[in-house]
Amino acid sequence: MKAHSPAGQGPTGRAIQGLAVSRGVAIGRAVLVAAGRMEAVHRFVEPEQVQDELARLRGARDAVTLELQRLQAELPPDAPQELAALLEVHVLMLQDELLASGVRHWIIERLYNAEWALTTQLEVLSRQFDEMEDEYLRERKADLEQVVERMLRQLRGAAAPQPPAHAGEGTPLVLVAHDLGPADMLQFRRTPFVGFVTSAGGRTSHTAIVARSMDIPAVVGARAASQLVRQDDWIIVDGDAGLVIVDPAPEVLARYRDRQQQIAREREQLARLRHMPSVTRDGQAVELLANIEQPEDAAVAVRAGAVGVGLFRTEFLFMGRGGRLPDEEAQYRAYRAAVEGMQGLPLTIRTVDVGADKPLERGARDGTLNPALGLRAIRWSLAEPEMFRTQLRAILRAAAHGKVRMLFPMLAHLTEIRQAIAQVAQARAELDARGACHGPVQLGAMIEIPAAALMVRQFLAHFDFLSIGTNDLIQYALAIDRADEAVAELYDPLHPAVLRMVADVIAEGARAGKPVSVCGEMAGDPSLTRLLLGLGLRSFSMHPTQLQAVKREILQADAGLLVDWARQVLAADEPAACLALAPDGSAAAA
Ligand code: PEP
Ligand code: MG
């Protein structure tokens, strides 16, 4: 994505750049959740009023707890799983002693009124959140703010934000706020909001998570939004580019309306492909798998038409837990839930991959110069064998309930391969020793370090299957930090060196008769589907939302015809230039 100025005035209207977190285009009138909502009356109370202030505080806390519990109880059965969990987090924060005792302190010792005490303690805790290494934890500051805001609303006797009553039937509305909490989002589910814009938040903020699961276009981190957007302004939310256009010129509006219609038509067409088998025109079956991050995503993947999960990134179960890792039982429950969600289809569980841009708080080491080259993924697992075997035992136990494959990230050395496999054997022996039930698993390796790609034959000798992690393979082959905006232009999946490695791994897998899939972002990019097919790939693993777009490419492709062309692309100095020249015409039909 190109960098835009944070806010620019041009013939198109005012454009505000944020982060694209949920795809699509929304056009509607802005509904602002009041800025300065944290403003509180600041006043000193008399010593004899302290008890009354404390009682007001307790009253507000109890009322908000009830409000949240009511929301929990009213959760519709199809509500995203995250919502229940997030509401629970808010209830827990309300009960948290650090918040409660801090606020009491300001009232009793400083004689602040309840509102002032609340915002003062919020500031104290906010600073602690800001200093946290872990991005996920840092973003929990927003939850605290939302909880405090609810309490302030109670103290003021005001109701939760609602869409304006004057909004006519059918008027599309876009919610613009500093930040939004899951409970607020929940209340907005049955309202006419067609898009969300927030000034705060990152890619893992709740607005982003919930908007994605609600499939509503959203832009977060659009810092200037709460100042530049006025109540009732027409705005466009471009969830693909992360752009918010305020008060658009008629021609811009027309262009976006066209795009909206085009997107709607495309979605309709794509949805029809869901139950179609994924086979090329010349009869080559292609396996389409899903990448998931949470156990409950397994069922979503199956509903989206995936024939299995090719990558379950388990590290998200390990993060944001204040350094306490999930024990064997908790992990077993999570993996078993995912296995059961698969309804008999295979689930590939990748062992924990923390480090680099996915730090675990206790693994986040100050002063690490190159985290992407440090103690990450399998290296961390092998350095902490107890932790590793806890995970392996949980996976092996879950494998008693369905088809499970185990995948190891970031292997580069034969010694690592031997150690990882030995740890699996030991974990199994530990389960046997205590008479615990476990099931068979196939073992696989991620090919995501150039060294692994170059010694793929040795990998194939030790593993049942391979999965190419192109996200990291590109990062390590080209020495481009995948999280660094400054070098993002150089991060090129079509670099000849990258393509050569991908091609070799696919070819060697075929020669050895062992399955090879691609589970990096390349697999979910429809513009690369034909190239990967031409290179012989028959297994793609991607985010479930991409499945139908990739399937469409497969249905239009003639795999036999693509082989020679793919060879030419591989030999070209500039493979990108050859991409549009695929021989079967599917590009034109797409
Ligand atoms: C990859 O590196 O391509 C991959 C799929 O793993 P992750 O994105 O989790 O590093
Ligand atoms: Mg990776």
> What is the rounded end-to-end Cα distance, in angstroms, of the chain?
23
Contact 550/524 with Cβ under 8 angstroms?
A: yes
231 & 343 share domain: no
> How close is the Cα of 547 to the center of ligand 1, in Å?
18
Is 471 annotated as a binding-site member? yes
Q: CA-to-CA distance for 238 and 21, rounded, in angstroms?
A: 10
Query: What residues are paired with 467 via a beta bridge?
Result: 446, 517
Phi-psi region of 36 (alpha: psi -120 to 50; beta: other; left: phi over 0): left
81 & 114 share domain: yes
Helix (H) or strand (E) holding 292: strand 287-292
388 & 528 share domain: yes
Closest protein CA for atom 4 of ligand 1:
469
Closest protein CA for atom 3 of ligand 1:
469
Domain harbouring 390, CATH code: 3.20.20.60
Catalytic one among 206, 401, 438, 543?
206
The ligand 1 atom at the shortest distance from the C-alpha of residue 471 is: 3
Q: From edge to edge, which strands make up the β-sheet containing 193-198?
A: 7-10, 13-17, 243-246, 234-238, 25-32, 173-177, 193-198, 218-220, 19-22
108 & 206 share domain: no
Evaluate: CB of 517 within 6 angstroms of ligand 1: no
> How close is the Cα of 212 to the center of ligand 2, in Å?
22
Per-residue model confidence (pLDDT) at position 534: 97
Is 365 annotated as a binding-site member? no
Helix (H) or strand (E) holding 483: none
Of 579, 539, 536, nearest to 559 (Cα)?
536
**DSSP helix, strand, coil percent of the chain (3-state; round to 5):** 50, 15, 35
Q: CA-to-CA distance for 517 and 447, rounded, in angstroms?
A: 10
Helix (H) or strand (E) holding 540: strand 539-542
Domain harbouring 246, CATH code: 3.50.30.10
Closest protein CA for atom 6 of ligand 1:
469
Give residues with Cβ within 8 angstroms of 2, minimum separation 6: none
> How close is the Cα of 309 to the center of ligand 1, in Å?
14
The three-state secondary structure class of 174 is strand
> How close is the Cα of 304 to the center of ligand 1, in Å?
21
Per-residue model confidence (pLDDT) at position 322: 60
Helix (H) or strand (E) holding 468: strand 465-468
Give the number of other CB atoms < 10 A from CB of residue 295.
Answer: 22
Is 405 annotated as a binding-site member? no
* Residue 282 domain-assigned (yes or no): no
Catalytic one among 90, 178, 438, 519?
519
Evaluate: CB of 353 within 6 angstroms of ligand 1: yes
Evaluate: CB of 472 within 6 angstroms of ligand 1: yes
User: Best substitution site from 446, 447, 466, 517 to test ligand 1's pocket, by max atoms within 8 Å of Cβ?
Assistant: 446
Per-residue model confidence (pLDDT) at position 153: 82
Evaluate: CB of 471 within 6 angstroms of ligand 1: yes
* Residue 272 domain-assigned (yes or no): no
Q: CA-to-CA distance for 391 and 207, rounded, in angstroms?
A: 31
578 is catalytic: no
Is 530 annotated as a binding-site member? no
Contact 412/451 with Cβ under 8 angstroms?
A: yes
* Residue 570 domain-assigned (yes or no): no
User: What tokens appear for 307 in the block?
Assistant: 């024939």
User: What tokens appear for 470 in the block?
Assistant: 């192109």
Query: What residues are paired with 309 via a beta bridge?
Result: 290, 347
Class of residue 258 by CB neighbours under 10 A (exposed 0-12, middle 13-18, buried 19+): exposed
Give the number of other CB atoms < 10 A from CB of residue 3.
Answer: 9
> How close is the Cα of 452 to the center of ligand 2, in Å?
13
User: Best substitution site from 319, 352, 447, 471 to test ligand 1's pocket, by max atoms within 8 Å of Cβ?
Assistant: 471
Point out the domain boundary residue: 156, 190, 217.
156
Give the number of whichever ligand sits closest to the CA of residue 467.
Answer: 1
In the chain, DSSP finds a helix count (H) and a strand count (E) of: 25, 17
Give residues with Cβ within 8 angstroms of 123, minimum separation 6: none
Closest protein CA for atom 9 of ligand 1:
313
The ligand 1 atom at the shortest distance from the C-alpha of residue 468 is: 3
Contact 49/266 with Cβ under 8 angstroms?
A: no
pLDDT along the chain (590 residues), means of 10: 41 76 88 57 80 91 88 77 79 83 88 83 81 76 83 72 51 81 56 81 58 77 82 90 92 94 89 93 97 89 95 83 84 97 97 77 54 91 97 98 98 98 98 98 98 98 97 92 68 94 98 97 91 98 89 96 96 89 58
439 & 310 share domain: yes
437 is catalytic: no
Contact 178/198 with Cβ under 8 angstroms?
A: yes
432 & 456 share domain: yes
Contact 184/146 with Cβ under 8 angstroms?
A: yes
Is 329 annotated as a binding-site member? no
Phi-psi region of 308 (alpha: psi -120 to 50; beta: other; left: phi over 0): left
Residue 568, CA distances (Å) to 32, 308, 562, 564 in order: 54, 32, 10, 6
Point out the domain boundary residue: 202, 235, 253.
253
312 & 187 share domain: no
Q: Domain span at residue 107? A: 47-156
Is 482 annotated as a binding-site member? yes
H/E/C letters for each residue in 266-278? HHHHHHCCCCCCC
Q: CA-to-CA distance for 272 and 338, rounded, in angstroms?
A: 26
Point out the domain boundary residue: 253, 279, 307.
253
199 & 140 share domain: no
203 & 109 share domain: no
Give the number of other CB atoms < 10 A from CB of residue 266.
Answer: 14
Evaluate: CB of 24 within 6 angstroms of ligand 1: no
Q: Which one-letter DSSP state was computed for residue 169?
A: T
Of 528, 531, 524, 576, nearest to 549 (Cα)?
524
Number of domains in the chain: 3
* Residue 568 domain-assigned (yes or no): no
> How close is the Cα of 140 to the center of ligand 1, in Å?
25
The three-state secondary structure class of 2 is coil
Contact 324/370 with Cβ under 8 angstroms?
A: no
186 & 139 share domain: no
31 & 55 share domain: no
Evaluate: CB of 195 within 6 angstroms of ligand 1: no
Domain harbouring 51, CATH code: 1.10.274.10
* Residue 574 domain-assigned (yes or no): no
340 & 242 share domain: no
Per-residue model confidence (pLDDT) at position 14: 83
User: Best substitution site from 313, 349, 532 to test ligand 1's pocket, by max atoms within 8 Å of Cβ?
Assistant: 313
Q: CA-to-CA distance for 230 and 197, rounded, in angstroms?
A: 13
* Residue 364 domain-assigned (yes or no): yes
> How close is the Cα of 543 to the center of ligand 2, in Å?
14
* Residue 217 domain-assigned (yes or no): yes
Q: Which one-letter DSSP state was computed for residue 544?
A: G
* Residue 318 domain-assigned (yes or no): yes
Give the number of whichever ligand sits closest to the CA of residue 519.
Answer: 1
Rg (CA), the chain: 26
